[in-house]
Amino acid sequence: MDYQEIIVIDANIRFGRPCIKGTRISVSDVLGWLAIGMSYEEIINDFPELKQEHIRACLQYAADKERKIKYAV
């Protein structure tokens, strides 16, 4: 799966924050829910427009962004 087919950035949606295509749900929303301990199933129950692949795409997006950070040594 290529997260770039699922995660989109549109200046007119959520102030240009990365979101799941076709929704106003941002990557940071999903990551926050996972961080507080919500399971995939709980997130999908609360937001039925989401699928597991959307949640995995958010994780892939975050991992890709972290890999691209240039750390000062």
Every domain of the chain and the residues it spans: 3-67
pLDDT in tens, 2-30: 999 999 999 999 999 999 999 999 999 99
Mean pLDDT across the chain? 95
* Mean pLDDT across 43-70: 95
* 3-67 placed in CATH 1.10.3720.10: no
Say what the pLDDT of residue 39 is: 98
d(CA 52, CA 17): 20
User: How far apart, in whole angstroms, are the C-alpha atoms of residue 61 and residue 23?
Assistant: 16
Which pLDDT band, with edges at 50, 70 and 90, does 70 fall under? confident
